[in-house]
Structure formats: C-alpha cells, structure tokens
C-alpha cells in the first residue's frame, strides 16, 4: 500500500508518498506561500535528478493539495497513475489535548475533538484541520489517520504534567504540560533500541530533539515519563527563537517596563528570544558558530546557554529514571552539530557518559558516538517523522 503523508502549516505544506511494502520513499515535496503571492510547489521524485517546481496561485490548502495530487499523478514526474493507488493518508496534527494517546482513524468525532483543541494550539491545529478537510473533499473515499505530536507524552505521570497553579485551571481550561515532538522522540527511541539490539521495554533513554524547536524526553521502558516542552512548545530548552523556561514574573515585568501591547510579550518570547535573542546574530547554529569563531562574545554566550540547558535536562532525567542507558541526538542541530554534541556531553564521565571525539565527527547518519567503555551509549539517530506517520497510518488502516 502507498501512503500519502501530509504536514500542513499555516502557509506551507510538506508531503511524502511512501510505499509501505518496503517503507521506501517514492516522492516528497513542499508547497510554500499558500494564500500569499507567489505560491509555489516543489516536487521531488525519489532518485530523479531534477526537482519539479511550479509557481501558481493557491488561495488555500484545498488548492495546495490539488496541486500535490496533480504532481504525484503527473505522467512525467509523478509516481502513481491515479489517486486510487493511494491507500491511506496520514496527517500530522500538533495537539490532541488529553483526548488521544495514540494515532487514530479520522472520523467526524475525531475532527470535533481536534476542533476543541484549537484553543490549545491556535497556530497549529487550524492549518492541520484545513489539510484534513481538503483531503476529505478531494479524496472522499480514502481512509485518513491523525498522528499527534502530543500523543506519545500522554503516558507522563501527573507529577510530571501538573503545574503548581490552582487546580481548577487544569480542570476548567486544560492547563497542564502536554509535550510535543512526540512522533520524533518515539521514532528515534525505537530506532535507538534496534541499533543497540535491545528491547525498548528494558531501556532508560533520553532523547534530545535539537532543531529550531527543541525538546528533551525521558523515556522509561518505552514510555515518555517527562519532556521539556509543556502547555505550549515554548517551555523547556532554549531554542532558535524561543526563550524556553523563564521566571513567569518576567512577562508581567517586561509588559510594564516596555509598555508592551497585548500579544507583544508572546511574540518576543516565541520569535525574538532563544539563541537569536541572546546573540543578536541569528537563530541558525551555523551562523552562531561562525560568529563565535570570529570572537563574537554574545554568540559564544548563546551557544553556552543552549548547551547548559540541554545538560540541565539530561541531569534531571537521569535523576528521574535513576539512570540512563542511552542518550540519543536528533534533528537539525542534534544530527549535524558535532561541536554542540561535544559541549553537551563533555565532563559527564562520572555519570558514565563518554563521547568518542573521533566517532562524533559525523553528520546525519545513524552512529554510536560513545567510546567503547562508556557505560551510557550515545547515539545519533536522524529523525523521520514522516515514516513514523506512514507506519501508524498503515497499521491503523490495515489493522496490523
């Protein structure tokens, strides 16, 4: 069976077509500037030398998905001859609140439940739902599955997810920690266990998803027991442009001192903070490292603050799990930035964590990075959220 994976953002859409017999990628692509001037689709057939690009007006997600379906069935750069060859569609959905602890077949009831979660993820759930609507309109008979970023973390115990604010805020408004990047944490944990040749049910793992958005998860015997993102993806680590953990009193103080308008503090903490805010240089670690090499003090500081926070969570999760068998790095920074991995893992040998500096000289490839005598294994596992979504989708529609 072929599965179409759809990941809708507010003005962009990523897609992949996978053949689930072999779990191989057939085609992938990206639609950008949906609803804006200059809408464009970039489509790539697996193995093809050239990408197909088409700039054409796309007023909404239905238009965008229409172009995706045209691209994948095109006689030149397509990979199937008709839409009947797509057995199911897997949709990435960011927030499922407390409703779903795993992926589900999308039914009208599921759509209602996800609409109820819009308040919790106002930027993410509406475009995710538009993608589902658009697919339903264009391929009404194809089963669809929702795969949620929050689902994997639903196993967290209450002591991990309850904030110490009056309990009625949890009961009335659902204010609690949810956690995100669940699909990625789950994928790299499962893959990590396979690489180690051990059952995930017997392992204590710490997965570090370090990208533009970043989070760390404690996975005990296959289940997420704590994660650094919380009610929203703003909590936890220092990120590209997000502050991560701060004293909540800062928000009120900043509003008063800076005469901020409603929404402005939120904008500062989400878009102007993180390593960009500290350095004033960039949110991209490649730019920061270049600036640091040239002696830019604030770029050096931003990198140190970032690493400090990752180490802080690793330490906390070792305490929570009473040990760790493996630490797994993934996402843009985790997969590519050997210097950052080095700083994060340095001076942890008392905890049995030893990075092999030669093995660490690698990018984007599944590798064991620890020394042979390191008690704790350190792994690099490139994430593959789309494959995880396709697997769940295939499993649910074929009931395997």
Which residues have a catalytic role annotated?
A: 149
Q: Which of 226, 235, 337, 385 binds ligand ADP (CB under 6 A)?
A: 337
Between CA 199 and CA 102 the distance in angstroms is: 20
Shortest Å, Cβ 383 to ligand ADP = 7
> Does 211 engage in binding with ligand ADP (CB under 6 A)?
yes
Q: Which residues pair with 79 in a beta bridge?
A: none
Q: Which of 180, 285, 306, 329 binds ligand ADP (CB under 6 A)?
A: 285
Q: Is the dihedral of CA 300, 302, 308, 314 positive or negative?
A: negative
- Cα-based angle 263, 150, 310 (whole degrees, multiple of 5): 75
Q: Which residues pair with 377 in a beta bridge?
A: 326
Q: How many CB atoms lie within 10 A of CB 28?
A: 19
Q: How many CB atoms lie within 10 A of CB 69?
A: 21
> Does 180 engage in binding with ligand ADP (CB under 6 A)?
no
Q: Which of 213, 233, 236, 274 binds ligand ADP (CB under 6 A)?
A: 213
User: x/- binding map, residues 229-268, to ligand ADP, per CB under 6 A?
Assistant: -----------x----------------------------
Shortest Å, Cβ 104 to ligand ADP = 24
Q: Could you give the 3-state DSSP secondary structure of residue 151? A: helix
Q: How many CB atoms lie within 10 A of CB 253?
A: 12
Segment 30-69, which members bind ligand ADP (CB under 6 A)?
Answer: none
Distance, first Cα to last Cα, the chain: 13
Residues 6+ apart with CB under 8 A from 105: 143, 144, 145, 396, 397
Q: For 272, which DSSP code?
A: S
From 43-51, 199-207, 211-219, 354-362, give the range in contact with ligand ADP by CB under 6 A: 211-219
Q: Point out the residue whose Cβ comes nearest to ligand ADP.
A: 332
From 144-152, 166-174, 317-325, 333-341, give the range in contact with ligand ADP by CB under 6 A: 333-341
- Cα-based angle 309, 315, 321 (whole degrees, multiple of 5): 135
Q: Nearer to ligand ADP by C-beta: 171 or 293?
A: 293
Shortest Å, Cβ 378 to ligand ADP = 18
From 75-83, 151-159, 258-266, 277-285, give the range in contact with ligand ADP by CB under 6 A: 277-285
- Cα-based angle 12, 363, 285 (whole degrees, multiple of 5): 60
Between CA 270 and CA 274 the distance in angstroms is: 8
Q: Using only the alpha carbons of the chain, give its radius of gyration.
A: 21
Shortest Å, Cβ 376 to ligand ADP = 24
Shortest Å, Cβ 357 to ligand ADP = 17
- 384, 398, 392: which is closest to 104 by C-alpha? 392
Q: Nearer to ligand ADP by C-beta: 130 or 283?
A: 283
Q: For 362, which DSSP code?
A: -
> Does 150 engage in binding with ligand ADP (CB under 6 A)?
no
Q: Which of 286, 308, 361, 375 binds ligand ADP (CB under 6 A)?
A: 286
Shortest Å, Cβ 116 to ligand ADP = 26
Contact between 185 and 388 under an 8 Å Cβ cutoff? The reply is no
Q: Nearer to ligand ADP by C-beta: 16 or 160?
A: 16
From 125-133, 148-156, 282-290, 316-324, give the range in contact with ligand ADP by CB under 6 A: 282-290
Dig out the tokens for 373 from the structure: 């005598």
Query: Under rule CB under 6 A, how many of the chain's residues touch ligand ADP?
Result: 13
Contact between 303 and 286 under an 8 Å Cβ cutoff? The reply is no
Q: Which of 10, 212, 346, 371 binds ligand ADP (CB under 6 A)?
A: 212
From 75-83, 87-95, 327-335, 373-381, give the range in contact with ligand ADP by CB under 6 A: 327-335
Kindly list the residues in this chain that would bind ligand ADP in the complex (CB under 6 A): 211-213, 240, 283-286, 331-333, 336-337
């Amino acid at each position: 069976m072929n599965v179409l994976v759809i990941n809708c953002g507010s003005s962009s859409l990523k897609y992949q077509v996978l053949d689930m017999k072999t779990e191989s990628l057939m085609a992938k692509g990206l639609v950008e500037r949906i609803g804006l001037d200059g809408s464009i689709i970039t489509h790539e057939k697996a193995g093809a030398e050239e990408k197909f690009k088409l700039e054409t007006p796309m007023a909404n997600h239905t238009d965008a998905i229409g172009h995706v379906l045209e691209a994948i069935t095109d006689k030149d750069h397509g990979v199937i001859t008709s839409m009947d060859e797509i057995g199911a569609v897997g949709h990435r959905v960011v927030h499922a609140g407390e409703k779903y602890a795993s992926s589900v077949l999308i039914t009208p009831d599921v759509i209602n439940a996800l609409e109820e979660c819009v308040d919790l993820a106002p930027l993410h759930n509406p475009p995710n739902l538009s993608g589902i609507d658009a697919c339903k309109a264009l391929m009404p008979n194809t089963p669809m599955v929702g795969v949620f970023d929050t689902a994997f973390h639903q196993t967290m115990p209450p002591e991990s997810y309850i904030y110490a604010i009056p309990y009625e805020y949890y009961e009335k408004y659902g204010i609690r920690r949810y956690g995100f990047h669940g699909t990625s944490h789950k994928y790299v944990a499962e893959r990590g266990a396979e690489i180690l040749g051990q059952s995930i049910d017997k392992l204590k793992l710490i997965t570090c998803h370090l990208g533009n958005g970043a989070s760390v998860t404690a996975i005990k015997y296959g289940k997420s027991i704590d994660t650094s993102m919380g009610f929203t993806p703003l909590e936890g680590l220092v990120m590209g442009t997000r502050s991560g953990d701060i004293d909540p009193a800062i928000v009120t103080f900043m509003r008063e001192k800076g005469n901020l308008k409603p929404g402005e503090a939120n904008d500062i903490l989400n878009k102007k903070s993180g390593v960009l805010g500290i350095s004033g240089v960039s949110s991209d670690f490649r730019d920061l490292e270049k600036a640091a090499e040239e002696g830019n003090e604030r770029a050096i500081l931003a990198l140190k603050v970032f690493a400090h926070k990752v180490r802080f969570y690793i330490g906390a999760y070792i305490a929570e799990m009473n040990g760790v068998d493996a630490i797994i790095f993934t996402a843009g920074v985790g997969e590519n930035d050997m210097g950052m991995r080095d700083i994060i893992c340095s001076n942890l040998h008392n905890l049995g964590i030893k990075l092999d500096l030669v093995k660490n000289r690698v990018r984007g490839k599944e590798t064991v990075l620890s020394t042979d005598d390191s008690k704790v294994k350190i792994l690099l596992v490139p994430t593959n959220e789309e494959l995880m979504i396709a697997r769940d989708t295939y499993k649910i529609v074929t009931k395997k």
